[in-house]
Structure 1
Amino acid sequence: MAQLSKRERVDAALKGEALDRVPVSAWRHFLDEENNMDDLAAVSLKHFHDFDWDWLKINPRATYYAEAWGNKYDFSDYDSVLPRLLEGPLNSPADLEKIQLINPTGGVFAEHLDLVKKVKAGVGNAHVLQSVFSPLSVLGFLVARSEQHRIDLDVQAQHDGLRRYFKENPEGVHAALKNIATTLGQYGAAAINEGASGLFFAIVKIAREGVLTEEQYEEFGRPYDLQVLEAVQGADFN
C-alpha cells in the first residue's frame, strides 16, 4: 500500500483501518529544558524528528498543574522528576477553600499553551498531545507534605495527604476537585484551540492497589476525570 503521512497513519490506526506500518512515538522528561518553553519545544521537536515519531506527546514538568494553584518549587533540587516543594496553599484540610476556579489561559497555563503552539508549528501535519493530570492527581500534589525530599516519600505524602483530606473534609475535597476539573477542562479546550489534537490524560500513581479503595476512587476520582474528558470530547486524538 502507499505510504501514509504521520497523521494519516495515526488516524487509520484509531479507526482500525489498514496501515503501512504501526504508528510509533515515545516521550520522556527533559529536566534541563522543562522550565523554558523555547528550550522544551526545541528538544521535544529534535527527538520527534531524530526518531521519526508519528505523533508528539508534550511532556511538561510534572508540577505545573499544582503551580497554577500556588505550589512553589526549588528547581535547582530535583529527585528523579520532582523538584523540592518550598510551599503551597494547603497546610490543613481547612485550607481547601483556597482552591478556587482560576484563569485557564493565564500564568503557568499561558506558558504551556504557548508551548503547544511552538511544538505544533514544528511537526507538520502530525498530531500533538498536551499532557494533563487528573484533578485528583493535581490535588495530590497540593496536599503532599513530605519531611524529606525524595521521590518515593513525596509520592507517599500525596497518598497520605489525600486519605487524610478525604476523612477530615470530604465536602471541601469535592469543592476543590470541582474547581480543578472545571479549570483543567477549560485549559484542555484552550490547548486544542492552540493546535493540540487532544489530551494525554494522566492518572498519576493513584489508580493502583493499596493507594485508594475502589469506593474512594469512584467518589473522588472518576466523576472529575470524566468532567475534564467531556470538555475535550470532540478532539481528534485523546
Structure 2
Amino acid sequence: MDGMSKRERLEATLRGEEVDRVPVALWRHWPGDDQRAADLARAHIAFQQRYDFDLVKVTPCSGYSVEDWGVETHYEGNTEGTRVYTRRRVREPGDWERLEVLDPERGALGRQLECLRMLRDGLDPEVPFIQTIFNPLSVA
C-alpha cells in the first residue's frame, strides 16, 4: 500500500479498500478561459502541476451543455465563475420535447470534448480526471 499512485489511491477508495492516505482534490473555475478549450486545459494542467492533487475535476462554464440549443449567458465578474443566464431554451414543459439531438463533436460540446482530449494528453496518465456535468433541468 505504500507509495500508491493517484489512480490506485482513488480507485481503491471508490472500492472501499484501505489506502495509504485519503485522496485530496480541490478545484476552481476559470472565467474567460472556460470559453476556449486550449485555455481551459492549460489552466487545469497548471493548477494540477502546482498543487499535485489526486484527481482533476474539470470545471467548464455552467452553460456549456445547453449553449448549442441557444441558451445565452454572460459573465458579470463572479469570482466562482457563475454566469448569468439571459436566454433559456426551455420556458414551458413542451419545450423539452422540441429539443433537437446535438452533435457532441461540434459547438460548445465539441469545445469541451477537445479540452478533455487536451487534458488526457497533457496530464500524467496516473492522474484521474472527471468532467463536471450540470443538470439540464437547472440550466436549459
Q: 1:2 to 1:83 in 2, by over 3 A?
A: closer
Local SS of the residue matching 1:54: coil
Structure 1 residues 129-208: aligned runs within 5 Å: 129-133=130-134, 137-142=135-140
Give the partner amino acid of 2:127: A
The 5 A counterparts of 1:1-238 are: 1-75=1-75, 77-79=76-78, 81-124=81-124, 125-133=126-134, 137-142=135-140
- Percent identity, aligned pairs only, is 28
**1:125-180 Cα distance to aligned partner (Å, 9 max, x none):** 211111112xxx323322xxxxxxxxxxxxxxxxxxxxxxxxxxxxxxxxxxxxxx
- Given that 2:55 and 2:129 are in contact with CA atoms closer than 8 Å, whether structure 1 keeps it comes out as yes
For 2:23 and 2:120, the matched residues in 1 are separated by 18
Per-residue deviation, residues 72-100 of structure 1 (Å, max 9, x unmatched): 2234x344533333334344445444323
Match of 1:236?
Answer: none
Residue 53 of structure 1 and its aligned partner are, at CA, apart by: 0.3
Counterpart of 1:208 in structure 2 is none
- In 1, the alpha carbon distance for the partners of 2:11 and 2:84 equals 40
Aligned counterparts of 2:23 and 2:95: Cα–Cα separation in 1: 46
Secondary structure (helix, strand or coil) at the match of 2:33 reads: coil
Pair 93,56 (structure 1): closer, same or farther in 2 beyond 3 Å? same
Q: Which amino acid aligns with 2:133?
A: V
Aligned partners of 1:81, 1:14: CA distance in 2, in Å? 29
What TM-score do you get using the length of structure 2 for normalisation? 0.83
TM-score of the aligned structures, taking structure 1 as reference length: 0.52
Letter in 1 for 2:138: G
Q: Distance in 2 between matches of 1:86 and 1:17?
A: 46
Q: Distance in 1 between matches of 2:138 and 2:118?
A: 30
Please tell me the root mean square deviation across aligned C-alpha atoms, in Å.
2.1
Residue number in structure 2 paired with 1:180: none
Structure 2 gap ranges (5+): none
Aligned length: 138
Query: 1 CA distance for matches of 2:96 and 2:15?
Result: 43
